[in-house]
Structure 1
């Protein structure tokens, strides 16, 4: 393309974009002006008030004006004058009698308000009673002054009118704010609010009863337009409901319009059912409904007027802006627009939550970096420490000496060696007895005794200070690692929040179709994840269908065939009602499973053992086994070991890495008490997806893995928890196989056999001689062998945990069904 043509195309695109931007700006300005006129200036209140001032039912009952005025007075008091003028103006267009009654009812409302004002400010529910009394009193007064008498019929009509005003006040108190207030974000309307809003709009349209344009009823056109909007935005159910309510109120205003009830309801139903055809489909439903009902009511009637009114309503409907219809649909529960709006809100809340958690993660990371770098005391070797101390000594002794230059400039090496010797002999405690060195040093230094006194006095303080600095450094490093671990957990959690539930509608329908074709009754299927090895499906099925274990025996095997991986029942929640629906969760079966056996005995046959054990599932396909041995025996040792395992379980379940978790436990236990309480920890974490195992041994005895005739020893070299404030955790990795037996034990088992010098060889031989593969039997045999070797005495706490790694075989075979594989 030539450059001139390319520039012309680019200029055209820029001009088009500029034109679209200008159009968007003009549209937003016009929308802003319209919203200001309708909501800020109160044009909506004026329009509604004018039409309700004209509205009446049963020829002479006027129940609409006062409830609307009361609702505006309570909800939008600054617009009270506009509502009053609009109501009076509407009543004037009908008759002076209507005007008198409207004025009298509003006047009586203010009279009764002198009494009710002190209560209605706190209890808004008293407003309908105030309206009831005002309407009843005003109607009786107007009738008395116009007819000069009151009969029982007048009292009866006045009571009916006041009762209707009472009900309408409660309705208008809910519906008026929906039309007069503009909010940036509104919650979806409840069913009651929708009905109240429909009643208000139908009541407003009652004020157009005698309005005609070229022979076409304005009331009929706009009531059908209201039905069209309802059916298009909310569907058949709301469309027919709007038709029923609107037709009922119109029939009350004019008995001749009673057929409008069935006409509007049927049209709303047909329009909602043809919603998939967009606006044309909904309009076609209105035409069909109005034609059929008109023919049924009176075959000789002129259908042309009815069809023209419907066509006029459809025309207005077709020219209604799309953004207005979308905005209305957002407030109706169950619509696509409402669901999208809710999803957008949930995504926004999810993003905000994720960002806050990410910020907290950054804070913890920053704290970790701060502890790692800021104020870091660099570790010094022995020579650097000596130089630092000697510098301290020379500042106190040599700086004011006249022979300083001779000692440190002429003979610096000799002076340095003498002072190092003084420092070394002071540390060993031999300086006072070394007379020969005293003479040599006195010949070399004019302040020999002063130097030796300063070294003797400050050397221990110097070493203590260095030790404190080292401890501070180690504590900073430990805190930095723990903060970094917390930061990593929070960062991963923020990423998990960002993962949305994927749309699996197609797969859900395929599963429902496949299961129902097999004769299995399914209520609902929700798929949360279909990732290999991480399937998460939730179903609702009747209680009756699950009484004989159909989920485990039938549905799970069929899902295994559909998804091409083993699926099992994770959780089942049965309904408390006999014919209710149970909720069942299905998930991926792990590749391997762990079967455990545990045997334990307290010293002397007591009840409390200083050993504690735990087996736990940590999620993400990991299984942990742990033994903790508290120092000594009895209640204190039991509490220490139990607390260690409790802390370990809580920290590991939070997602923190196991090495950081053990360091955190060591820090907590070492800081919690000044007593010399030590605890060992033997931890094995098995990944059930590939059978890899990680062993962390903190002061614990070796573990053994029995694989056929082989016995593999697993040992570590870490000190018990609580002895030193910081240590490096050694992690031993081992690849386990199906059929392997993992045997973990406390020192009471490993070192328990009497008259045995090589405990490793004895334990390996005993494990190798065991013929059974049952974990519980192995644990019982080992503890029994140790007790027998001691002549039946239990001289220490004993605990042995045996785990068997097995390939996970589903209990029920897959059931092939004729269906496509779920993608």
Structure 2
């Protein structure tokens, strides 16, 4: 502690000395400017008539920050603090301090050094202050060794790296400086420790991530460091600024005020401030803040949705003024908490958002609009929006790759563990040989003449004692017959293994926890990679159909200016613009039947009348209407004597054209099984509603169950996604019982041979697509229904025969009859949880 205080005092002294040098330089310039004016030659002063002089501008009240700035400028202390409180540098300085506080998993912290490198490339004049603030940020978290590393690295930079050179050469020097500093700073202490492959790879990836962060921070730092209003902000710079601000918000960590998170307050403030630039930027900022800040949060879906929905609504209401932006953000927070969170989080979320809103209230609306305009791109249109989406996908892919690299570094733990285990075995055999065989008369015969046989039998003995009951295990027969000290050898091996048993147990626990952390990082990387790929996807454009609609509309006297037709899985979306009509509703009476006839689909229409909007163009959006509907019925019975069912099921509406039927059977019965099945169903519902693909959703649920504390935590998943437009069903079964489809008098069986989720890291997914027809009945059952005690000789065939004979058409009655028959075959007692989910397809 004393050494740290001494280092801190020395660091502060050097910092003050450097600032004094800067102050002296400014003071000298100021002094000579004044002296130069005093030595000017004297001349005659002529007073001109008043009418020839322009009237002076009336005095205006300056803002509070500017008045404080002017007041301090008259003091000598201002010269030392000018670079810290300068309004043009205040935001960059705050970001530098809080970026220094950020670390990954409490160990990896290359963010501060990467930000300094980015600032040094953009503005050399602001690099020194950024260096001081990032170092102070690191020290404020208690990472004292890393703070000392930053100090000496920055001194090295200003001494050797920061020299005039070509931009390309200087950029490479800065990148190599970041990589070398992080590598040597964490690699040198390993020379005095046990060097393992895992630790070495972790150091290499830490340094590589630092280099990657320099490229990510560089465009965002350009916006903060160079306040040029004429500068054009590109989409890449905007996305990097969002990532930079999100990382800075994460630097607040667990700081609280009266029990409320300061980090969440600042996050709400930043989202509302940037939402003045539009709903798109507000949503992107919300997603970025949610992902970066609450990356390890158990309820990260709620956090991301909270900020994303809040940013979306705040940006959507920006045209109505500051109060509407605040109301939109608060409304989004309420919606997200009610849909994805818990009621005990409701008041905390609202309070934290309200504090951010209160700060926004004190910022002048003109200042907010100026910030919003400075972040808007100079070119607006479809091409620029496409660039934003493309760059957003690229940044998400880069972040996904970063976490993939972290997971890859952790996956080497198996190799390292095997190597460590081999070294421990060798040391154990050496100790046994020295203690028992050192003075034995047959040492030469055992260890010199028959070394390999003795070595192998000793390994067999160690394996027996480690894997079995140590009190009842005997030595191998060969060792008992050849060793004259086998009893002494057996006692010594038993003593050594008993002393190492506790250490071995905790090593296995640590390895399991490390593997669970790697699995979580891998799952996050996969989800972000899939999200990047989904963002890149664009619906295929049907240009021929769009041209045909334009031509046909012109032929009937309806002038459409633009038409865009896209098709996703057989569902059409038509967007068009036209000049306002005279009130005869051409959009409904002409455009709707024309498009429906040409596409041969029943369409729904949404319009924005141009006549009601100051005679602007009418905007028309047509979508394929649903042709089918699903009537569902659910029946369940609880295993005796439990009070809660271990099965869980749900019917989820996915937009306007899809419905999902979900059934999950948790391992065992009662509360434990109910927790697993409910967790799987609820998480799967949220991912599907968020428009994740089915396979990605199931893999994410599998990763979630793998992270549970219990050794055995798995559940089956029986999922059917029905497309109501085309009448197609997609079955996905993971360890679930067979499903049934009845059409008239025939019954088809959908089988599964995969293991439940939560057992293996890589889950096997089998998808079956089925074309449905009106009147088809889909039946999902848990294994308690199919495997009734008295149905062992029939198996699932009894369900097939029962469905063939049933004449009911109501879904609920069919489910109740199947459950009643299953209970009857079980002798009236439920020996397992039973659940039946029935869905009947009918035409609209």
Report TM bin, short chain.
0.3 to 0.5
- Give the TM-score, by structure 2 length: 0.45
- Indicate the structure whose relative CO is greater, using CA pairs within 8 Å and at least 6 residues apart: 1
- Give the TM-score, by structure 1 length: 0.46
Larger Rg: 1
